[in-house]
Structure 1
Amino acid sequence: MGTREEEQEALAVRAAAGDGSALNELLASIQPNVLRRCARFLPCYQDAEEACQDVLLQVARNIGSFQGRSKFSTWLHVIIANGSRQTYRSLKRRAAEQSHAEAPVDVPDARTTSVIAGSRLDLLDALEQLEGRRAELVAPMVLRDICQLDYKEIALHLGIPEGTVKSRIHQARGHVREYLVAGL
C-alpha cells in the first residue's frame, strides 16, 4: 500500500472516471486536511467548517474535470484557496447586510480578539483588492504562500513557466505589502 497522497491520487483518477465509491472514499479521506487548510484562511472555526463543506461539494461536482495534468493535491489546493476566499467574501457581504439591519447583532470583531485572525482577514482583504486590479497575480501567491506548493507544482498547474510564477509572486507580494502598510 502506498502513501496517503498516492492513495488519494489513485482515488481521484477513479472518481474522475465516474467511480462513485472512489469519490465517496476520496471525500472522506481529504475532509480533515481540507478543514485544516480552510482554517489557514479563515480565523473562525465555524467559517472554516462552512468553507470545508463548500470545497468538498466543489470536489464532488467537479471531479470529472480533474485531468491529472497536475497532482490531485495541487488541484485540491486551488479549490480550497478559491473556496475559502469565496466563503470570506460571502461572510463579508452578509456582515455588511446585517450592519444595515434594524437591530445589529453584537459580534466581536476578530481583528480585535486575535492578532493572527486580524492578519488573516487583512491578507484576504488585500488579496480581494489585488484580484480586482491584477487577478493573474493572486493564484501564484496563494498557492505558494498559503498552500505552500513549490514553484514547479504551481507552474505545472497554472500552465506557465516557472520564471513567470516567481515574477508574479514577487509582484503580488509587493502589492499586498503596499495594501497592508497603507491599512496600518
Structure 2
Amino acid sequence: MGAQEQAYDADQIDDLARRAQAGDRAALEELLGAIRPRALQVCRGVLPYSSDAEDACQEALLNIAQKIGGWGQRGRFTTWMHAVAVNSARTTYRRLKNQATPTDPQDTAGGPLERPDPRTTSVIAGTRLDLLEAMETLEREHPQLVEPLLLRDVYGLPYDEIARLVGAPLGTIKAQIHHGRRLARPLLRGDDA
C-alpha cells in the first residue's frame, strides 16, 4: 500500500515530520504523500477550480519540503501545514489575478482586449473572489489579522491551535480574529448583490 493510500493519524504525521526534520529523506517523501490530500483540500477551499488548487497544492508541498525546519513542534504538524497551504493558495490566487488583469485596456492593434480565458484564469470567476479580495485589502492595512482570521473562519481551526501556530497568546488571537471579522465584513459581497 502506497503512502497516499494509507490513512495516517496526527501522531503518525507528527512522527514522520520529526524524522523528516532530522534529515530522513524517506520520511519526508512519505510525509508529503500522507499530507497531500489534506493540503489539496485546503487549497480547494480557497481556489474553486481543480487545476488552480492542484497548482497551489504542489507549491505548498514544495514549500513544506524546503521549509520543514520552520515547524517548531509546538503544535501539530498538520496545523503548520494548514497555514503553508493557505499561503500557497493565496499566492496562486494573486499570481492568477495579476496574469488576468490587463494593464492597458487596448491591445497593440488598438482594439479592446478580449476577456481573459476562463480555462487559464479560472480563479477570477471563482465564488471565493470576494473573500480573497477582502483578505488582500485587509492584509495591506492589518497583515497580522489575515492568517488567524483565515485559519479560524475558513478552515475552522480552534483558537488554541491558531495561537500555537502563530506563536501568540490565546487572548491576542481571539482579539485579532474579532477585529479582522469587523474589518472584513463590509468588504464581502452579500447575497443581495
Q: TM-score range by the shorter chain?
A: 0.7 to 0.9
1:94 equivalent to 2:94? Answer no
Matches of 1:91 and 1:35, distance apart in 2: 18
Residue of structure 2 in register with 1:138 after alignment: 146
RMSD, aligned CA: 2.5
How many residues align structurally? 179
Give the structure 2 partner of residue 154 of structure 1: 162
Structure 2: 5+ residue stretches without partners: 1-6
The one-letter code matched in structure 1 to 2:147 is A
For 1:24-43, what aligned pairs fall within 5 Å after superposition?
24-43=29-48
Provide the residue aligned with 2:185 in structure 1: 177
With structure 1 as the length reference, what TM-score do the two structures score? 0.87
Tell me the SS of whatever aligns to 1:67: coil
Counterpart of 2:4 in structure 1 is: none
Q: 1 CA distance for matches of 2:150 and 2:69? A: 24
| TM-score (norm. length: structure 2) | 0.83
SS in 1 for 2:67: helix
Q: Which residue of 2 aligns with 1:122?
A: 130
Superposition pairs for residues 66-77 of structure 1, below 5 Å? 66-77=71-82
Q: Which amino acid aligns with 1:89?
A: R
Structure showing greater radius of gyration is 2
Letter of the 2:150 counterpart: V
User: What is the deviation of 1:105?
Assistant: 5.5
Are 1:98 and 1:104, in contact at CA under 8 Å, matched by a contact in 2?
Answer: no
Q: Which has the higher helix share?
A: 1
Quickly say closer, same or farther: Cα 1:97–1:16, change in 2 above 3 A: farther
Mapped to 2, the partners of 1:27 and 1:111 lie a distance apart of 25
Gaps in structure 1 of 5+ consecutive residues:
none
